[in-house]
Structure 1
Amino acid sequence: MKSFPLLLVAAVVLAGCNAGRSAMSGAEQVGAGLGDAVTAPLEDFNLRRQLIPTVLLQAEANPYDLRNLNQCTTIGAEVARLDEALGPDTDEPPRQDGSYRSEQAADAAAKATLDAIRGTTTDFIPGRSWVRRLSGAEQHSRHVQSAIQAGRMRRAFLKGIGMQRNCAPPAAPSWFRPRR
């Protein structure tokens, strides 16, 4: 029973070390994203644009294209390309990255800090909505959102085709089990 206090002290010390590491990680995230947050007004003046991945432009042009998608492996590869551009689909379980609560808190604090900096720098532009319209930034932003929506539609369509053809995930939703 005498070893219990020693274990408790060791656990507290290790938790403190992890919290310190998490705080440093959060500070590094803010440092890495600071340049983008400060230069956010460049997007309003259409001097810097968000690039649209090719796979999303292709999905926007023809979301129901089935050319060269006659095998489960090719459907799965196309879904993987879309996952890379869009992030995980809604049928995917959240990734368990093994991070501690302190790391998650540091990530959230870093994101909030960068959002506040970005908001502050863009608030200095008088008539920001007009600037965005006149510079073409608003139109580009709508194009980005349209491409993202088309990519999501295409991914859902491909997973439906994968189910119809009895394909295993990722060519079908993660919950789907092909019949043998």
Structure 2
Amino acid sequence: MRARPLSVVLVAALAASGCAQMSFDRGADRFQGGVGQAASAPLQDLNIQQTEIPAVLVEARGAPYGRADLRRCADISAQVARLDEALGPDLDQPQQGPGRDEQAADLALDAVRDTASDLIPFRSWVRRLSGAAQHSREVQDSIKAGLVRRAFLKGLGQQRGCRPPAAPSA
């Protein structure tokens, strides 16, 4: 059996899955919008460019279980809304996943990001020495704190008899 070029195999797979007849506008827009960020991955590895941590997540790291300014359900709801804006929808919200064209764009962006990152020799050491690894941990810790804070707020809202979004929807 002859080896076929990758492009022929990909086209056949897309046609078989029905993707060939879909509009690729959303996927193309997603790819075009993210290619610059994906290609700049080495700048993050060198700690020249950093992901900005939203203020609401920094606040959550400082006091994930704080009860200040939570007198009414509207106060809880406002804080949950700020966290939703930074983190995306919570698990009790309807989830709308990306379509196939958007998934293909995400895979292509991952390939661009990986290729750009592979250009840096000894990448893990560069990340450690530049401080990028530490900043990445801070970003992840802030996200975790935001998730914990949102869960705490919704539990508090449920205890007080609040309606969603100040309490879980389900």
- The residue number in structure 2 matching 1:142 is 137
After superposition, residues 68-107 of structure 1 pair within 5 angstroms as 68-95=69-96, 104-107=99-102
Q: Distance in 2 between matches of 1:163 and 1:32?
A: 39
- The 4+ residue runs of structure 1 with deviation greater than 4 A are none
TM-score by length of 2: 0.84
Pair 1:56-2:57 in alignment:
yes
Alignment partner for residue 108 of structure 1, among 100, 103, 109?
103
1:95-134 CA-partner distances (Å, limit 9, x unpaired): 48xxxxxx81110110000100100110111100000000
Q: In the alignment, what sits opposite 1:23?
A: 24
Once the two structures are TM-superposed, the CA of residue 27 in structure 1 deviates from its matched residue by 2.1
Shift of 1:91: 1.7
Asked if 1:163 is matched to 2:164, the reply is no
Corresponding residue for residue 173 of structure 1: 168
Q: Secondary structure, in 3 states, of the residue corresponding to 2:99?
A: helix
For 1:78 and 1:105, the matched residues in 2 are separated by 34
After TM superposition, the score normalised by the length of structure 1 is: 0.80
Q: Using the alignment, how far apart are the partners of 2:43 and 2:168 within structure 1? A: 39
Tell me, in whole angstroms, the C-alpha distance in 2 between the residues paired with 1:92 and 1:54: 23
- Unpaired stretches in structure 1, ≥5 consecutive residues: 1-14, 97-102, 176-180
**By how many angstroms is 1:46 displaced?**
0.2
Q: Which stretches in structure 2 are left out of the alignment for 5+ residues?
A: 1-17
Task: Please tell me whether Structure 1 or Structure 2 has the larger radius of gyration of its CA atoms.
Answer: 1
Tell me how far 1:93 sits from its aligned partner. Answer: 2.4
